[in-house]
Amino acid sequence: MTDSGYPILAREGWWHTVSAVAVAALVHFFAGYAWAIPFWIFAAFIIQFFRDPPRQIPDLPGGVICPADGTIIAQGEVDDPYLKRRAKRLSVFMNVFDVHSNRIPVTGKVQECWYNKGKFINASLDKASSDNERNAMWIKTDQGQDVVVVQVAGLIARRILCYVQSGERVTLGERYGFIRFGSRVDVYLPLNAQFRVSLGDKVKGAADVIAQLT
């Protein structure tokens, strides 16, 4: 299915976009085209950063969809620090040119959310999962599987936005948050999950299946 009802530009970027375009237009009007070029380039960067295009959400039983655009930088078996279990983890790194809208990876009910203050080291480093500022959300699927998705701040990211709370029901592909500017998202899955992507793969949020729950 295709999600709809959302503007091409994420609501988190409306104020930034209007401000950047207004400044560029004022400089262009009062100082001329040449002086305005850097400001128009900056405005174009802001628009592309906050873009939030609709996606074709795959309808695959047991499928876990990607929660963010980016590159797979880690996958394997680890200790889940939130549910205190062994789990399989996938990590998606978002650079400043990726779409930063975050999506729900599975349909189910939010059991609990955890917010941890932390550092702002490079999100591509593995220790960012434990050291950086982050917001974790535990979802229990309709089939009773436990999935934890974690928004992790990056080197220049200074704002994690999450719009769901404990007790809410969430739907596959639903927009639930945003991270500014450059970051990662970790997904902790049951050990019986089968990866559908490999290290280095480029993935799209809400469009690509990253794992299969059995």
Q: Is the dihedral of CA 189, 195, 199, 205 positive or negative?
A: negative
Q: Is the dihedral of CA 154, 11, 49, 108 positive or negative?
A: positive
Torsion angle in degrees (nearest 10) through CA of 170, 106, 202, 151:
50
Q: Let me know if 165 is exposed, middle or buried by CB neighbors in 10 A (0-12, 13-18, 19+).
A: exposed
Helix (H) or strand (E) holding 138, with range, is strand 134-141
- Active-site entry in 101, 124, 129, 183: 183
Q: Quick one: how many helices (H) and strands (E) in the chain?
A: 3, 14
CA–CA dist 188, 82 (Å, integer): 9
CA–CA dist 123, 183 (Å, integer): 5
CA–CA dist 103, 25 (Å, integer): 34
CA–CA dist 99, 95 (Å, integer): 9
CA–CA dist 98, 64 (Å, integer): 20
Would residue 183 show up in a list of annotated catalytic residues for this protein? yes
- Enumerate the active-site residues: 183
